[in-house]
Amino acid sequence: MKLTSIIDTIRHGVDLLKGEETVDKTYCSDKTHADEPTAQRAFDRAKEKLFAVDRWSDLSSLTADFHLYDQAGNRKTTGSPVVGDYIKVDLPGPAPENWVKVIHIIDEETRAGFTARPCADPNDKAAETEHFFSDTSTSTFHVEREGLTITACQIGKNERVNNEDAESGNRGAVNTVIAGAGWLFYQKIQWKTLTAYLVEE
């Protein structure tokens, strides 16, 4: 790698941590099956697991806990997410809780998924965005069947650190550390674990 490329990469990393730049990240897993009936059953299972958000908490002690809430901020222990629902994300360790709101859902014959955006705690309407990414960021969770292959992806768009104290509820420094660690290694652990779970038998 040329020196200028290394310098540009470092500058971009610094700008990311300062909240002045955004980045897109995608993590996927796939599995190919022997025949159409098997692939269809695998897709149906993947879709069921995708929409059972609370079950994601059981994947690993290294991954986050996910809890689904309805539009009024009440915990949902059954059912799939709908547009307007919230998901509370509790990272391992002492990190503060993070909230996202479901803004789009797709459920078709060969593909399904939903998109969420960082938001405030629904039970505290006066709160700022309680997430380490700003509310311009989105995260899409997606499963698809193409022929005999099932693919699951997590797609992060416009990921920007939520570190302006006026907008982050005075957790700018903490958010910077969480986002930085995520980009360095944790996102890969979290999302590759999830996408592998979605496509596994």
What interhelical angle do 172-181 and 3-17 show, nearest 10?
140
Under 8 Å between Cβ of 170 and 179: no
Question: Which of 107, 142, 144 is CA-nearest to residue 31?
Answer: 144
Mean pLDDT calculated for residue range 166-193: 75
pLDDT band for position 186 (50/70/90)?
A: confident
Question: Which of 128, 121, 132, 120 is CA-nearest to residue 159?
Answer: 132
Which range has the worst mean pLDDT, 60-64, 67-71, 115-119, 138-142? 60-64
Domain ranges across the chain:
22-199
pTM: 0.84
Q: Which fold does the domain 22-199 belong to in CATH?
A: Alpha-D-Glucose-1,6-Bisphosphate; Chain A, domain 4 (3.30.530)
Please give the residue that has the higher pLDDT: either 170 or 130: 130
E strands, the chain, are: 23-32, 65-69, 86-90, 98-107, 111-118, 138-146, 149-159
Question: pLDDT at residue 173 above 50?
Answer: yes
> pLDDT tens-digit profile of 106-163?
999 999 999 999 998 998 876 778 788 888 999 999 999 999 999 999 999 998 887 7
- According to DSSP, the residues that pair with 117 across neighbouring strands are 101
pLDDT of residue 168: 53
Please give the residue that has the higher pLDDT: either 86 or 62: 86
- According to DSSP, the residues that pair with 35 across neighbouring strands are none
Percentage of residues in the chain having pLDDT higher than 70: 84
Mention every residue, 6+ apart, whose C-beta is less than 8 A from residue 197. Answer: 49, 56, 59
Alpha helices in 122-171 (DSSP H): 165-168
Percentage of residues in the chain having pLDDT higher than 90: 59
pLDDT of residue 4: 42
